[in-house]
Structure 1
Amino acid sequence: MNEAIQSKEVRLISENGQQVLPIVQALNMAIDMGLDLVQINESDPPVCKILDGGKYKFDLQKKEKQNKQNQKTIVTKEIRMSISIDENDFRTKVNSAIAFLTKGYHVKVSVRFRGREITHSKIGEELLANFCQEVSHLVNSSTSAILQGRILSILLKP
């Protein structure tokens, strides 16, 4: 804004069209009008407008704030189990997953294998299949079961 513009020439956009002017002449025009010379775009030469600088900054901040509010962040909740989970504990995990999915969260369901349990990976796959079947009415898409190290996991999306 004003003296912060470092170029010797600017492309000034005004009511009567656009023109390339020396920076000094553009600044004098802005001062005569009682307004500020605001750089809109950093090209060669920079694009500038004569307008109220305070109002322009306020409008930019307002636009940024509005864009920030419109962004939707995806939150992923994780539910961890082992292959030796009991029926009531399994039911509790399913209920918490249902609560997360109804709130719109993505849910990552993980089955952790300890020691030699990794040799029984079929049990873990069956556990995840049962879990998916319990929450299938709330799930639009899910990934296939992925084994990463000692953790078998699946991602459920509402």
Structure 2
Amino acid sequence: KTRKVAHFLDQGHKVKITIMFRGREMAHPELGKRILDQIAEQLAAGAKVEAAPKLDGRNMVMVLAPDKRSRTAKASSSADQHQQQAQEQQPQET
């Protein structure tokens, strides 16, 4: 699921991650927070935490937003690649 989250963030979308607690799981919300913190660490290169993990009834919610700095770096590198490919594909005069 983190791959899907990373894909959405790469496209520039915000992602809301929800963990639903059932039954006795409500007695240990710290486990859900640990999971959300691990996800935030894994995606730290391309995302920033917009809303920290927060308990909302039986759900724990966290919002991630794309990190503009990493996105501009990716965009510039992809633009350079496209220019390089275009130059290679131009017909050469003989």
Q: Which runs of 5+ in 1 are unaligned?
A: 1-92
Shift of 1:139: 1.0
Larger radius of gyration: 1
- Give 1:143's aligned residue: 51
Distance 2:43 2:6 in 1: 6
CA 1:120 to 1:140, structure 2 compared with 1: closer, same or farther past 3 Å? closer
Kindly report the root-mean-square deviation, in angstroms, between the aligned alpha carbons of the 2 structures.
Answer: 0.9
Matches within 5 A, 1:6-85: none
| Larger helix percent | 2
Shift of 1:141: 4.1
Aligned residue among 104, 117, 122 for 2:25: 117
Distance 1:128 1:141 in 2: 10
Shift of 1:119: 0.5
Partner secondary structure for residue 99 of structure 1:
helix
Distance 2:21 2:64 in 1: 20
Shift of 1:144: 1.1
Q: State the aligned residue count.
A: 66
Are 1:97 and 2:5 an aligned pair? Answer: yes
Aligned AA (2:37): A
- Give 1:11's aligned residue: none
Q: Which has the higher contact order (CA 8 A, sep 6+)?
A: 2
- The TM-score normalised by the length of structure 2 is 0.67
Distance 1:127 1:142 in 2: 17
